[in-house]
Amino acid sequence: METAPSSSMSPASGTYVLDVHGFSGLRRQHCGGGGCIVSPTFTVAGLEWAIRYHPEGDADEVTDDVAVFVVLVTKDATAWAHVEFRLLDQAAGEMVTFFGEKDPILFASGSEDLSTWGTGELAARSFIARST
């Protein structure tokens, strides 16, 4: 994740790794019925962020895809950020970019629509299960 510069801040970048072990068991124990796992918060450019990981699809609909979203957690904050979601294919040993946006994304923690960004279709659950 990289925040876009403004007149009052210089560019900052950061990486957060959400390490998911035991994908199939995790789904059964913690995420049945469209639930999600929220990462611990992490800091980029002085702001707190978190990852919401939905192993059974977006919260609105259970699908065959994994959903993932980045959330601006810092209260009453606004930021522009570049976001990219990559997965480690453990079978191949390669990091693969699955979803991202080339232009900066506006995050505003006070807005339900702007506090979160991501995709309900990051990758097929069958791919994730094979690569873990």
Q: Report the C-alpha gap between 67 and 80 in whole angstroms.
A: 22
Highest mean pLDDT among 19-23, 74-78, 101-105: 74-78
Considering only residues 105 and 3, tell me which one the structure prediction assigns the higher pLDDT: 105
Q: What is the pLDDT of residue 47?
A: 93
Average pLDDT for residues 43-47, to the nearest whole number?
A: 91
- Residue pLDDT, tens place only, 51-75: 888 777 775 666 677 788 899 999 9
Highest mean pLDDT among 3-7, 63-67, 69-73, 116-120: 69-73
pTM, two decimals, is 0.73
